[in-house]
């Protein structure tokens, strides 16, 4: 594959999510001498789709974010990742169905996001506002909005990306960063299919008053990434920051809350009549599942109270609604390696993963970092080799995380009796001890 020597090759990015924007920033910062870049997004403006919920960005993701972004973007990181406040532990705690602690990763000590990269702590990371991270990554980006991609056409010397509005654009490389339903992936690798885990998730973002946040902190030993595994194949997860979002007599905090349960329960339940376009109906249904699958106890009461706080939002903004959604993923190693050519997949388009381990956005940012480093080696006629290196490394890393997320999710959907519960308790306590030893050694040296 050769490109004209007297002009810079052009990279076309489709999709201005966290992955596409990280790549755009990185090309401008690290590859500006070698490539032009253009980015296209189907939405008409930044606010069109709700981008909310808290996500966990681990140290590897933070490191890649710093690599990809220029100083003026880095200076705004605290808007999306505010400095830790007292009592905040940016780690995970797992409890059982009645609130007994099973696993608690030791707290890495850092004063701001700027200190995370250099921490010697494998489990370091920070709870991040996903919508604000996207806003920050939009800084200085010249997006062509309202451009819904419907496919592409390859020619001898480049690629045309095709849009729903009848227009098209020519470039040397096309990056499909267009999410789990990517039309670019469907055309390029039609046999790479979405896997449905048979688990239903209901996710909501809520503002919780301080007295409830304090209760959560007690159950989860101040950890901000929180998980409670039930014995009937269900689980809660929540991501919290203790940075007040509203100034009132009692401070309020933003909590992203999810409840997962086996989909078969809804399929086999003849009385299950949920209207997914009606948030009240979804929340009512979720609470009835919680009552069915959880024992009466303080933790169950707390979860029901939290779900009852879910906002019944403006019907115009449907994405704010709590909805039942199937947990799905895409394993890039489930098919033979696809052709290394001008069409490149990045982020969820290549390897969507369920949110149980909080790794999807991290992988999208790491893809942007990796692709940049491979393209740095580009000289005249070796573009294909750069892409080959990227595809091979990206698939291996991401597939590992897809499989880890899938295994963890599926393991939790198994109902356990007394012995199973004991085995789970022992296993998680052993893992807990192991992690604590690793972190102790890492942070001492
Ligand atoms: C509840 C929940 C919690 C999560 N928690 C975490 C976490 O803690 N940590 C973590 O790392 N990850 C987490 N994730 C996953 C993370 O949000 C995704 O992996 C990440 O957003 C993927 O980024 P992306 O840029 O690849 O895709 P997306 O964010 O999906 O962006 C794709 C972009 O492409 C655009 N687009 C789509 N189709 C077209 C088209 N045809 N033409 C043009 N543009 C198009 C979309 O509008 C969008 O802007 C979570 C996900 C969920 C649902």
- pLDDT reported for residue 165: 97
Tell me the whole-structure pTM to 2 decimals.
0.94
| Atom from ligand 1 closest to the CA of residue 360 | 19
Mutate to test the pocket of ligand 1, among 128, 361, 409 (most ligand atoms within 8 A of CB): 361
Cβ of 184 less than 6 Å from ligand 1: no
- pLDDT reported for residue 443: 79
Rounded to the nearest whole angstrom, what is the distance from the C-alpha of residue 215 to the centroid of ligand 1? Answer: 31
**Around Cβ 72, how many Cβ atoms within 10 Å?**
10
- Looking at ligand 1, which residue's alpha carbon is closest to its atom 3? 355
Cβ of 152 less than 6 Å from ligand 1: no
CATH of domain 197-220+227-327: 3.30.9
Task: Give mean pLDDT in consecutive 10-residue pieces for the chain, a chain of 445 residues.
Answer: 65 98 98 94 87 90 98 97 94 95 89 94 90 95 97 96 98 98 98 98 91 96 96 96 83 93 93 87 95 97 94 56 91 98 98 95 98 94 94 98 97 90 89 86 77
**Around Cβ 414, how many Cβ atoms within 10 Å?**
12
* CATH 3.50.50.60 in the chain, residue ranges: 1-46+138-194+330-414
What's the CA gap between 199 and 195, in Å, rounded? Answer: 11
* CATH 3.30.9 in the chain, residue ranges: 197-220+227-327
| Atom from ligand 1 closest to the CA of residue 201 | 1
Residue 165 burial by Cβ neighbours in a 10 Å radius (0-12, 13-18, 19+): exposed
Structure tokens at 273: 């009549």
What's the CA gap between 56 and 81, in Å, rounded? Answer: 10
Cβ of 405 less than 6 Å from ligand 1: no
Cα dihedral sign for 334, 339, 345, 347? positive
What's the CA gap between 93 and 221, in Å, rounded? Answer: 7
Residues 30 and 376 sit within 8 Å (Cβ to Cβ): yes
Rounded to the nearest whole angstrom, what is the distance from the C-alpha of residue 19 to the centroid of ligand 1? Answer: 8
Residues 32 and 9 sit within 8 Å (Cβ to Cβ): no
What's the CA gap between 147 and 345, in Å, rounded? Answer: 18
CATH 3.40.50.300 describes domain 1-46+138-194+330-414: no
- pLDDT reported for residue 317: 56
- Looking at ligand 1, which residue's alpha carbon is closest to its atom 26? 347
Comparing CA positions, the residue from 48, 44, 41, 45 lying closest to residue 149 is: 41
Structure tokens at 417: 């009796």
What's the CA gap between 320 and 147, in Å, rounded? Answer: 23
Comparing CA positions, the residue from 22, 114, 121, 124 lying closest to residue 65 is: 22
Rounded to the nearest whole angstrom, what is the distance from the C-alpha of residue 392 to the centroid of ligand 1? Answer: 22
Q: Are strands 195-209 and 252-262 parallel, antiparallel or unpaired?
A: antiparallel
- pLDDT reported for residue 3: 46
Counting Cα atoms < 13 Å in the Cβ hemisphere of 347 gives 26
- pLDDT reported for residue 6: 56
Mutate to test the pocket of ligand 1, among 322, 360, 404 (most ligand atoms within 8 A of CB): 360
What's the CA gap between 353 and 364, in Å, rounded? Answer: 11
| Atom from ligand 1 closest to the CA of residue 20 | 25
**Around Cβ 419, how many Cβ atoms within 10 Å?**
8
- pLDDT reported for residue 302: 97
Comparing CA positions, the residue from 222, 183, 2 lying closest to residue 95 is: 222
Per-residue pLDDT tens digits for 166-187: 999 999 999 999 999 999 999 9
- pLDDT reported for residue 2: 43
């Amino acid at each position: 594959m050769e490109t004209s020597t007297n002009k810079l090759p052009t990279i076309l990015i489709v999709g201005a999510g966290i992955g596409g924007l990280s790549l755009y920033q990185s090309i401008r910062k690290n590859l500006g001498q070698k490539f032009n870049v253009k980015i296209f997004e189907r939405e008409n403006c930044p606010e069109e789709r709700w981008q909310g919920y808290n996500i966990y960005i681990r140290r590897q993701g933070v490191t890649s974010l710093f690599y990809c972004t220029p100083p003026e973007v880095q200076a705004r990181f605290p808007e999306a990742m505010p400095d830790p406040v007292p009592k905040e532990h940016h780690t995970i705690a797992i409890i059982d169905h009645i609130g007994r602690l099973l696993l608690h990763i030791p707290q890495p000590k850092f004063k701001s996001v700027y200190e995370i990269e250099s921490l010697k702590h494998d489990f370091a990371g920070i709870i991040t506002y996903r919508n604000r991270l996207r806003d920050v990554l939009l800084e200085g980006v010249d997006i062509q909005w309202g451009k819904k991609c419907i496919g592409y056409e390859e020619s001898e010397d480049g690629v045309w990306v095709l849009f729903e509005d009848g227009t098209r654009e020519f470039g040397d490389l096309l990056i499909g960063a267009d999410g789990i339903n990517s039309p670019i992936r469907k055309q390029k690798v039609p046999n790479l299919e979405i896997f449905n885990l048979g688990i239903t998730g209901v996710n909501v973002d809520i503002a919780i008053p301080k007295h409830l946040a304090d209760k959560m902190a007690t159950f989860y030993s101040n950890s901000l990434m929180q998980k409670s595994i039930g014995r009937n194949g269900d689980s809660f997860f929540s991501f919290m920051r203790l940075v007040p979002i509203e100034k009132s007599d009692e401070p309020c905090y933003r909590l992203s809350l999810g409840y997962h349960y086996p989909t078969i329960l809804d399929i086999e339940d003849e009385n299950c009549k949920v209207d997914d376009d009606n948030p009240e109906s979804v929340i009512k249904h979720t609470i009835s599942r919680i009552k069915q699958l959880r024992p009466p106890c303080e933790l169950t009461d707390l979860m029901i109270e939290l779900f009852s706080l879910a906002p019944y939002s403006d019907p115009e903004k449907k994405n704010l609604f709590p909805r039942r959604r199937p947990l799905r993923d895409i394993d890039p190693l489930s098919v033979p390696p696809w052709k290394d050519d001008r069409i490149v997949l990045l982020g969820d388009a290549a390897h969507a993963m369920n949110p149980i381990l909080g790794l999807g956005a991290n992988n999208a940012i790491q893809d942007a970092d990796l692709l940049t480093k491979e393209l740095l080696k580009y000289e005249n006629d070796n573009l294909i080799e750069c892409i080959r290196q990227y595809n091979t490394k990206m698939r291996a890393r991401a597939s590992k995380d897809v499989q880890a997320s899938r295994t963890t999710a599926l393991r939790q959907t198994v109902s356990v009796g007394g012995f199973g519960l004991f085995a789970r308790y022992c296993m998680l306590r052993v893992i807990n001890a192991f992690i604590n030893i690793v972190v102790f050694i890492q942070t001492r040296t």
